[in-house]
């Protein structure tokens, strides 16, 4: 009986972990997973200040920033290359919603960003809504709106 209890204590947490991991991995469709990968790539390229980030955007992309700035692709390229804002950390905290209609996916997520703006340190938590459109089998960012979450 003692052996069974010991085995149960070891096996049960592994079973729960397996169910959690397997259940989580089944949560999103193939298309949604592809967009989540693109969003992770977006965060990574933004943090590295990598010019390849442009390849993730539609030509008519629109950005609405938490400070009220609105940018199109040309505005983004100019500000990104000038390093007006540089990010030291971009971390996704939560995915609150992901919805797909045909070749469009909306993704709501919460991120934490840290960086420099005009040589001033900043840190904030943002709620982000991104609209991704599938063009020639590749998911591209079409629109992104962020709002600061104040604690």
Burial environment of residue 128 by CB neighbours within 10 A (0 to 12, 13 to 18, 19 or more): buried
- Asked whether the beta carbons of 129 and 58 are under 8 A apart, the reply is no
| Structural domains present in the chain | 30-149 (3.10.450.50)
Q: What is the pLDDT of residues 26-36, one digit of tens each?
A: 589 999 999 99
Reported as a single tens digit per residue, the pLDDT across 64-105 is 999 898 999 999 999 899 988 899 999 999 999 999 999 999
Question: What CA dihedral angle connects 27, 33, 36 and 37, to 10 degrees?
Answer: 140
Q: What angle do CA 74, 76, 78 make, to 5 degrees?
A: 70
Query: What are the DSSP calls for 87-134, one per residue?
Result: EEEEEEEEEEEEEEETTEEEEEEEEEEEEEETTEEEEEEEEEEEEEEE
Give the pTM. 0.80
Q: What percentage of the chain has pLDDT greater than the value 70?
A: 83
């Amino acid at each position: 009986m003692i052996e069974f209890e010991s085995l149960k204590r070891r096996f049960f947490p592994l079973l729960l972990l397996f169910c959690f991991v397997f259940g989580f991995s089944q949560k999103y469709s193939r298309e949604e997973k592809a967009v989540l990968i693109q969003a992770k790539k977006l965060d990574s390229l933004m943090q590295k200040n990598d010019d390849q980030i442009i390849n993730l955007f539609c030509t008519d992309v629109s950005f609405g920033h938490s400070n009220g700035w609105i940018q199109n692709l040309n505005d983004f390229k100019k500000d990104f290359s000038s390093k007006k804002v540089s990010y030291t950390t971009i971390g996704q905290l939560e995915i609150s919603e992901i919805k797909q209609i045909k070749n469009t996916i909306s993704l709501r997520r919460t991120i934490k960003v840290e960086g420099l703006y005009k040589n001033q340190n900043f840190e904030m938590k943002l709620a982000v809504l991104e609209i991704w459109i599938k063009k020639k089998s590749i998911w591209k960012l079409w629109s992104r709106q962020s709002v600061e979450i104040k604690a």
